[in-house]
Structure 1
């Protein structure tokens, strides 16, 4: 099976227990990383529709492609006009836990009652096109929710939001685009399509999906008093650090952040190079966080 199909069918797990950290300087262009690999990231978007709803989902998606996303395409092999019994569990582990209102009971009900599935493939991106393409992906999500989709999941990092949260993120992206604030726009796209923190206490926690805005992911190793597992509040602290580092990388550049934070920048060894979660820009490592 080729890498595109593996990406579409990937089954994602792990909890996300975090809160976003905002505050980049407005009105500036974002800095991006140099690629350490020939691999170029892309978006895989999963849309759920009603019973016998595939044709309508495809029609809506083609309208988006014709209107503003010409480099996106429909997956013809794994989209289906019937429910997928893996979706309830998949969305359950992919829900964004960053925002306290990331999803509502109505979103869970819509997923449980879905009757069709459409996958949309984004174009391959480099660092210079990642934010623009991710902005189109977020607009694509809102277009589909406005035209028949019941629920949406971003497969490239394994993150899902409820319809209300997707709309909020889209409206924020429109405001930042109108203000020509690329750093703020990159941050909104990161909050929409990336996950953090995932992992465990022993190996540390990482972000997944920062490559979708042209930045390395962040890996945090930490120590704490006692031998109890990290708490939700401590994981929120880790997530806030990841967001701070991402904002700083977009503002000052990766090399400056690595030097300032006494961090490391290494190749992404978490995933195979042809997987959609693989980050070609690498992983910034923080090894000394004390909780």
Structure 2
């Protein structure tokens, strides 16, 4: 998934970078610039003066300025009093071409918030970032006006510079919605990953709880079996004692019986031995009867 997102954001950035950058001189007036735009079918152009990027002017800016002065877009009633530098978008950022390749690189410059923030100069190759703040434009009466480009006030043009410090690419403010969508997609992906982690943790906790309950149930069963065996052992021991007692009793009875028989036999033998003399003299036996 990460690899797919990486390929997607690289492709999106390649799509939004305009490699054909038209440079115009800073001393052009708004009608001359508008004529140039119509002849070359331009949407925006970079105002370049003595090796420095002053800003970006769009066809919309020129049309608005011409209409304000003449009340029409095609006819010129008087020489325009404003030059392109009076209507240009000066909220720009110039970056070395090698400093930006993907939307991930843009994150280093904190553009997703639509506000130019302080960045680490060490993270940016030379030439350094040239950020120009938006200034109010004034009519001849000195009144500030910036309603026609209010929707640009929170945007920045990004101009890429080559090794010779010449413009070689441009990202218009209208392209930032792609970055918005990418940010949202990344946020949703992060939330999905976080939710997946939470779900996995919950599943692991439920599995652990189930195993713990099984372990406790097994321990309870083993304890019951041990108590049963202990009770059975006591009963077996009692039975064994009873059997031993009966055996001893039977042995005592048998011994008594044997002793009785032996005593009776000895008595008989004694009586017989005592009667033998009378048997000699009388010639008869008292047992003959």
TM-score normalized by the length of structure 2: 0.22
Judging by fraction of residues, say which structure has more helix: 2
Q: Which has the larger radius of gyration?
A: 2
Structure with higher RCO (Cα < 8 A, 6+ apart): 1
TM-score normalized by the length of structure 1: 0.21
